[in-house]
Chain A
Amino acid sequence: MRSRFLIVLAAIVALVLVPSFVFASGQQQGGGGEIVINWPSIWVGQDAKAPAIDALVEEFNQANEGKIKVVVEPNPDYDGYRDKINAAIAAGQVPDIFIFNPDPTTFQYYEGDLLMDFTKDLNGAWGKQFVPGTIKGATKNGVTKSIPFEVGVTPIWYNQDLFDKAGIKEFPKTFDQFWKDADRLKAAGIVPASQMTGGSNAWTSMLWYSHILASIGGQDVWDKPLTDPQYVEAARIMQRMFQEYTTKDAVGADAGVSGGHYLAGRTAMFINGPWYIGRIRDEAPEVYKATKLTPAPQVKGGKYGAQIAFPLSNLAAASTDDPARRAAVVKFLKWLTKPENVAKISESAGSLFAIKYEVDRTNIDPLQLQFIDALNNASFAVSHFQANFPVDVTAELGQGFGAMALGRMTPEEFVKQLQAVANN
């Protein structure tokens, strides 16, 4: 009987250890010196960009058959993806290529020697393909270790049909007018604006906050530290928005709820980027037709006409000593950022990019056209709150908006709370 258990035990040990040695996969070198580039990507599955990107990867692989192969690893869940990338980097295994959302927290990736340095590569013709300022935005301490790719532009959206119903002829240009119009909307049984406190960044409301700050602080708004009174002034407006002019479920709502209210025609105002065009066109065609984009109202004494535009996704790569591998990665990134290719993605997905490309104004989604025009016609553009503060400060916004909405926190206390987290 002893032998039976020895056998069982041996079987277990074998079951556990043998596969690891037999199937151990080391650094991937495909057949005959082919360079394999692993790209964990979130632009897969239901992401609007997925088909175009898949096609581009396919084309690249075919053109470089036997020499370079790009393998996309699908990671549709964004939070999970970010966690995975962080874990891989901390474990010392930076993926060959990856995507990240640029903000002060993620720019820490630039430290040390983990990422490929593109500074020199971008000095020439490649760099000229990019919209001015975008490369600078990806440069820290004189070093550019990521490629700006997708950008977000998030004007204020409003539903013209609902505005008509409330008797409002044009979008208010000042906040004094805004409050009056918001009251008119309420009188007509329409909730003025979608707000939210959920998710990791209270997205809709964070963008409202950014718009208001842009109006108060102008082009240098983000140079001012949290101790500047502009943050309290903007917070006061947000408190009023939450307490009087939004849905009952705004505190605790996530992006699905906030967007859902706008799509359902319950709220008259919303904020989001061009990636949302597909959804609104497919799910709420009437609202899609009635949607107009505009700058935010002007705060008293502030500026008018700003737009919020920010780097949404940058591409980064693991640094490597192998010159052939380095060249392969750069080749692929140049391919992805080729103007014709970017135009293809933009056309099919509605997204906007940091690369200059020709827009065919006759053959483009009308809402997407509004986005492009909004950016072009802006008096100035600044990025959003999230791009200028570490992840935990941004995460605190939602909690603070909720607290203010519930009357548990004053705008002053709200900003103090942000400072506390920032100094932690």
Chain B
Amino acid sequence: MPGRELTLTDIIAKTAKWLILVFFLIMTFVPIVWLIISSFKTNLELQTDPFSLPAVWQFQNYVDAIQVSGLPRLFVNSIIVSSLSTVLNVIITSMAAFAFSREKFRFQNTMLNMILAGVLVPIIALMVPYFKIITGVGLYDRLWGLVITYAAINLPISLFLIYGFMRTIPKELEEASIIDGCSFQQRFSRVVLPLSKLGLVTAGTFVFLFSWNEFIYALLLTSSMRARTLQLGIRFFKSQFITNYTSMYAAITLAIIPSIAVYIFFHERIIKGLTSGALKG
């Protein structure tokens, strides 16, 4: 690096930088490590000494977790529901965001603000209406019921994110494409959509995680293994008075491993795609 000598400010900056990175590294690893170690303990050990190594490694917890709660099937359901709801949500919100951000039309701002206000709605207040809707259209205890519900719940947030990113795309690029003869849809698919990748990924990640971790509506809108998701399987280890934490942690750990694998696989590719075209000179 050309130019200056190392100043005091630089040294402080460097130390601060590494301290911060290490701090967050610890914060990140502690839960994962703790979870895994705890999953090998007995419940009593967990209550009395949650931060020691197990006296005897209880592999039985894992056997229980697999056999008893039907994890593999629930995992597949979670993948299906999360993926489909994400795709559905991102497609339709990017289309709407395009219309809102690149065009002018009547009631535009009113509609936009109404939809964005939806970000604040506390969804636990909506249990009764959602129950009526889903049972009304016959989607109770169906994966599709959850797919549509999750896609719909996250419309405001996705619209907010994608609209926010789309707005920053310069008009000149589109004007150039109009001169080239692009139609309305082509402007969307060829120009704006590729440039909004960051917005799409941001929104998509959020919707996916939401669908993956959601519990209340997964419980409310399903009744059997054919539509139930991973979060329900994990709660399986609770009963009215007693929670079998260690087996629950075993189940969570089992669920995390493929989750992390999927995340690393997809996210790496997505980020690569995001950043490869982004560096302009």
Contacts and interface: CB of A to CB of B under 8 A. Distances in A.
B117 interface: no
B48 A260 contact: yes
Given A87-B220, A90-B128, A275 B241 contact: yes
List the 5 closest pairs (A to B, CB-CB), nearest first: A24-B138, A260-B47, A47-B239, A87-B127, A73-B223
Nearest to A279: B242
A410 B219 CA distance: 41
Contacts of B224: 73
Contacts of B238: 46, 76-78
Interface string B127-140: 11101100101111
Nearest to B42: A283
Contacts of B127: 83, 87
A46 B239 contact: yes
A91 B135 contact: yes
A88 B131 contact: yes
Given A80-B216, A91-B129, A284-B44, 7 more contacts: A46-B242, A73-B223, A255-B241, A264-B44, A273-B241, A275-B242, A283-B44
B242 A4 contact: no
Contacts of B69: 45
A87 B140 CA distance: 14
Contact of B131 (A75, A91, A256): A91
A225 interface: no
Contacts of B43: 279, 283
Interface residues of A, number: 54
Contacts of A139: none
Contacts of A87: 127-128, 131, 220
Nearest to A84: B220
Nearest to B185: A5
Interface residues of B, number: 47
Given A40-B223, A87-B131, A264-B48, A45 B236 contact: yes
B239 A42 contact: yes
B91 interface: yes
Contacts of B241: 255, 272-273, 275-276
Nearest to A203: B241
A91 B129 CA distance: 7
Interface string A84-99: 1001101111000000
Given A12-B88, A87-B128, A23 B142 contact: yes
B239 A45 contact: yes
B237 A45 contact: yes
Nearest to A263: B44
A20 B138 contact: yes
Contacts of A264: 44, 47-48
Given A76-B236, A256-B47, A275-B240, A1 B128 contact: no
Contacts of B215: 80
A5 B188 CA distance: 10
Nearest to B69: A45
Nearest to B221: A84
Interface in A39-80: 40, 42, 45-48, 73-78, 80
B3 to A, nearest CB: 51
Nearest to B239: A47
A331 to B, nearest CB: 23
